[in-house]
Structure 1
């Protein structure tokens, strides 16, 4: 499967973005998209519901007058730099889960670099199968990477993704911190979660779907009261919106180089470990980690080159935590 079809709305946006002064006639749209003029009008109305604005002039056509910051291919592409990730971006106004869609497409042979996005999710998932609140204004997307590494390095995937997201946020003036193993915090509350699902083949990872959820341009008050205790949004903490296509382009560009280095055997978490540690919220704090049904408590001392967390208990015992969930730490609103 070399090319996955874009939706009519995505194709229409692409045509408008490429048209001189954003002006294109209904006849041109009808011919290019292979649909009736009535269907064109209906799609224009649907795009208006998604935040696009048009001016219609009789016998001339439609002019695109306002472009929202949705994660559509034509809006993200200008922000990609020498990047194989994002070579195809599939947007939808709503999906149950971008990870589920990307995984199904991966099973059908979708190419490396495919990114599945959605304006909203109705069935987003976080760690431990929890519901991930995914309202409009957030960034909900999943990235397909093929043959990225050996199974022994599979744990590097989300760690590298957290570094890519941190770098992208920092480039836009957002001072996030990384929480082991795969979250990002802003002022002590969660703004981003990363979830990897993968299929293995022998000693290597056949493909991985990296799902990233970012609480961006909506307010913390839109969360249920219990979620507000541990989660926040960029808008609420920074008092400004972030341009989502630019941020996605930055994330994909950073992630692309990290994964290419990993695949080439010259990168991996070991190569960015010092950078990760410099921006880690977890290290040096008293934390509790859930591992299955067990709770381990102590001071997070270090992470090794494989991303394994060293936790020193009250009795001096150092536990090597390969995976788990940090429940809370000092000064953290979780």
Structure 2
């Protein structure tokens, strides 16, 4: 852990603060410390320019060199009819919409990754402790891991948004991005019905309508990715006759099915 080197109210976002760290174990660790100290409010965020122990899904290491974005966002508490199981996808859609304001058109890889030009450029990790929820957000702004630094059998090659390391200011980029993230998140929760959300998320999912493979702890499933279910599960159709047989998978890793 380390001391905060800056803390400022974001322009035009009264009450949303960003705590900026030059180096730390992870942005998530710092945010949880601030929450435990009652020093953070909903909507506040942490960014770390270098993480020494950044983490991703299932505790995997998140490669964290300087120049990219490593943030933790204290998720605002908002009443909504959308189920809590949908939260990772709500954050994903909110972030996708926020990045569109910068001209980047992304897709969401179920359940929590961001795809740009058929490469993985970011990921989201939701952590929940005693009712508080924090979203860890990693975005490859300028660089990405080399193949040797990726875990074995990675589904999608790593990529970046292609920003210039010499000109991008990560603090400024995040201060603008988090405003769009916040407004998109609030809008979705306050205005979308469950049907609205499912329709919108399905329009933005990577590989939807394609033949896919889903690896989970219960085995391997194959089928056509037909959409997202009401609790965030993936829906697969195995094509047996005209009607097809639908399968639901709650967790796992999706990949494009490459047939010989």
Residue ranges of structure 2 left out of the alignment (5+ in a row): none
Q: How far does residue 165 in structure 1 lie from its aligned partner after superposition?
A: 1.7
In structure 2, the partner of 1:303 is 228
- Could you tell me which of 174, 179, 192 is aligned with 1:248? 174
Alignment of 1:88 with 2:11, yes or no, is no
Residue ranges of structure 1 left out of the alignment (5+ in a row): 1-5, 11-71, 201-205
Larger radius of gyration between Structure 1 and Structure 2: 1
Q: Aligned equivalents of 2:169 and 2:194: distance in 1? A: 28
8 Å CA contact retained: 2:97, 2:181: no
Q: How far does residue 314 in structure 1 lie from its aligned partner after superposition?
A: 5.0
In structure 2, the partner of 1:63 is none
In structure 1, the partner of 2:148 is 225
8 Å CA contact retained: 2:88, 2:126: yes
In structure 2, the partner of 1:165 is 95
Q: How far does residue 132 in structure 1 lie from its aligned partner after superposition?
A: 0.9
Q: Does the residue aligned with 1:93 lie in a helix, a strand or coil?
A: strand
Taking a change above 3 Å as real, the CA distance of residues 239 and 260 of structure 1, as seen in their structure-2 partners, is closer
In structure 2, the partner of 1:135 is 65
Q: How far does residue 287 in structure 1 lie from its aligned partner after superposition?
A: 1.7
Taking a change above 3 Å as real, the CA distance of residues 268 and 92 of structure 1, as seen in their structure-2 partners, is farther
Q: How far does residue 244 in structure 1 lie from its aligned partner after superposition?
A: 3.7
Taking a change above 3 Å as real, the CA distance of residues 167 and 101 of structure 1, as seen in their structure-2 partners, is same
Q: How far does residue 98 in structure 1 lie from its aligned partner after superposition?
A: 0.9
Q: Does the residue aligned with 1:133 lie in a helix, a strand or coil?
A: coil
Q: How far does residue 240 in structure 1 lie from its aligned partner after superposition?
A: 10
In structure 1, the partner of 2:29 is 100
Q: How far does residue 257 in structure 1 lie from its aligned partner after superposition?
A: 2.9
Matches within 5 A, 1:33-52: none
Deviations along 1:112-159, one digit per CA (max 9) or x if unpaired, are: 122111001111111121111111111000011253458982223221
Q: Aligned equivalents of 2:231 and 2:14: distance in 1? A: 26
8 Å CA contact retained: 1:235, 1:242: no
Q: How far does residue 246 in structure 1 lie from its aligned partner after superposition?
A: 4.9
Higher-strand-fraction structure: 2
TM-score (norm 1): 0.64
Q: How far does residue 313 in structure 1 lie from its aligned partner after superposition?
A: 2.7
Q: Does the residue aligned with 2:115 lie in a helix, a strand or coil?
A: strand
Taking a change above 3 Å as real, the CA distance of residues 176 and 196 of structure 1, as seen in their structure-2 partners, is same
Q: Does the residue aligned with 1:235 lie in a helix, a strand or coil?
A: coil
Equivalent residue pairs, number: 248
| Cα RMSD (Å) | 3.1
TM-score (norm 2): 0.80
Taking a change above 3 Å as real, the CA distance of residues 317 and 292 of structure 1, as seen in their structure-2 partners, is same
Higher-helix-fraction structure: 1
Q: Aligned equivalents of 1:226 and 1:173: distance in 2? A: 29
Q: How far does residue 310 in structure 1 lie from its aligned partner after superposition?
A: 1.0
Alignment of 1:318 with 2:246, yes or no, is yes
